[in-house]
Chains A and B, each alone.
Chain A
């Protein structure tokens, strides 16, 4: 059974094409890592799934429903929880206000968020704009969880954070995988952490998905060719 199905997706920004054919599936409860060097189309893929950029061709379905027919907010309501690159919280609102502004009923509520991210609980009345980068990242994840999604999309969730904060975020993602059975698509550059957590990896190279497999099967040769590590 597949929850999200991306089939030969192509996307164009104005006159320049960014995606030429990305295909992969996500099953319920599965963690899929999107890998690839900078500028290869990982974020564009995430944006296309969330219907923030129009797709030129290909198919995109979530839980059997055609996403390409839906506006962005409808796609989100079906159960897509985006944690955007660069955090992007609602700056004028407090932590708690950020969480309740878009909350939808379900498993995740304020008390479960407080368990997952105790630091947010300590800062609940503070404005999002005044949080540290790591705390803003936690808030962005928590805000997405409060919409009670079935698929969480994490775009560069640990980028630009201090190592110790990164570990906190990875630990939280691991907890999510273990305890909630949430399907997760994660874009990140930290190979070691992705290897530990991802069930499957998809490598995107120049707007195409070129390799799919278990992260353990990713040979040094492949990593060198596509990821530059």
Chain B
């Protein structure tokens, strides 16, 4: 085992230990915080496939996070008012079932990623950043002007959606569900990085011409990566909406894109557990410093600067050293 895998194992242990302690001492608030870490980490795992493996600096991942959230919001709001989404030509009703909502969230965010990726991957560098940002902002303003689902005020869902066999209203059960989804996404992400697809993506990040001479089209490779990346972030959006039982255009805003990117950079770009470490640190800081000052993000900014300047591998990279990066 490499040093990085020990660190990952340690992080996993901590992430299980903290909620276990909170559960046994009856601190529901801590459980909710841990759930939030898992869901935000999931969004980061999605972005890390594009950013870490593919080197695609997407400043528009809020688009997929928001689409996932609105997939949940739209389906659940129709279910709670018993008003079908459409009745012609086919009847489509709302649902409160998480598996169905997740499926819709993943499909919708993949399609959006396919469209956004197909257009923005024709550019690179600063233009790619700007185009992805523009797509995110387009959706942000679209949802602000969409009164059917709350417009600027957002939309509340009164009861958390259901998952077969679980009572998702019990914090610890929803926490376990979120942990399992995150675990599966990490497993998938680790396998992807080692599969020929992920290796080619890593190679293309370093030198796109070189992979072309061995018969791989970098554009398609990146597009597939972008779609996978967007769909995982979209799933996170659906879970995040369920955690808060609330959706709003904020999910689409560039602040959200920036925060997802901060998780990845704080934790370590291209590191399997980078987004997990980053999201945990972010929530921890928000929790600790948020009590000190409402301007706690000043400290976050200083930390981010320090990481970018002095610890390029992020938290995981600093602890594990350079050589063992998986991407």
Q: Say whether B202 contacts A76, CB under 8 Å.
A: no
Number of contacting residues on A, CB 8 A?
A: 25
Instruction: Determine if A42 is an interface residue (Cβ-Cβ < 8 Å).
Output: no
Kindly identify which residue among B200, B206, B207, B214 contacts A76, using a CB–CB cutoff of 8 Å.
B214
Task: Give min CB distance, B215 to chain A, whole Å.
Answer: 4
Scoring A residues 91 to 126 as 1 if CB is less than 8 Å from chain B, else 0, what string do you get? Answer: 111000110111110000000000000000000000
Q: Which of A152-188 contact B (CB under 8 A)?
A: none
> How many chain-B residues does the 8 Å CB contact rule pick out?
19
What is the bound-complex CA distance between A40 and B324, given in angstroms? 43
B311 at the interface (CB under 8 A from A): no
Q: Is the CB of A90 within 8 A of B203?
A: yes
Residues of A within 8 A of B214 (CB): 76, 81-82, 101-102, 143-144, 147
Q: In the complex, what distance in Å separates the CA atom of A76 from the CA atom of B213?
A: 6
Whether the Cβ atoms of A101 and B210 lie closer than 8 Å is no
The dominant DSSP class at the B interface is: helix
B291 within 8 A of A: no
B 188-210 to A, binary, CB cutoff 8 A, 1 in contact else 0: 00000010100110110011011
**0 or 1 for each of A44-87: is its CB under 8 Å from B? (1 = yes):** 00000010100000000000000000011100110001101000
| Residue A88 is within 8 A (CB to CB) of chain B in the complex | yes
CB distance from A174 to the nearest CB of B (A): 24
Contact residue among A71, A72, A91, A101 (Cβ-Cβ distance under 8 Å from B196): A101
Q: How far is the CA of A147 from the CA of B210 in the complex (A)?
A: 13
Report chain A residues within 8 Å CB of B211.
73, 90, 101-102
* Residues on B with beta carbons closer than 8 Å to the beta carbon of A147: 214-215
| Cβ–Cβ contact A76 & B199, under 8 A | no
Output the residue of B194, B206, B214 with the most chain A CB within 10 A: B214
The residue of chain A having its C-beta at the shortest distance from the C-beta of B199 within the complex is A101
Of A72, A77, A101, A103, the residue contacting B203 (CB under 8 A) is A101
Inter-chain CA distance A21–B213, complex, in Å, is 23
Contact assessment for A104 and B215 in the assembled complex, using a CB-CB cutoff below 8 Å:
yes
For A149, give the chain B residue with the smallest CB separation.
Answer: B215
Q: With the chains together, A149 CA to B101 CA distance in Å?
A: 46
Q: Which residues of chain A have C-beta atoms less than 8 A from B200's C-beta?
A: 101-102
Q: Are A90 and B215 in contact (CB under 8 A)?
A: no
**Interface mask (A178-206 → B, CB under 8 Å = 1, otherwise 0):** 00000000000000000000000000000
The verdict on B217 contacting chain A, using a C-beta distance below 8 Å, is yes
Q: A101-B196, A101-B200 are contacts. A73–B206 as well, Cβ < 8 Å? A: no
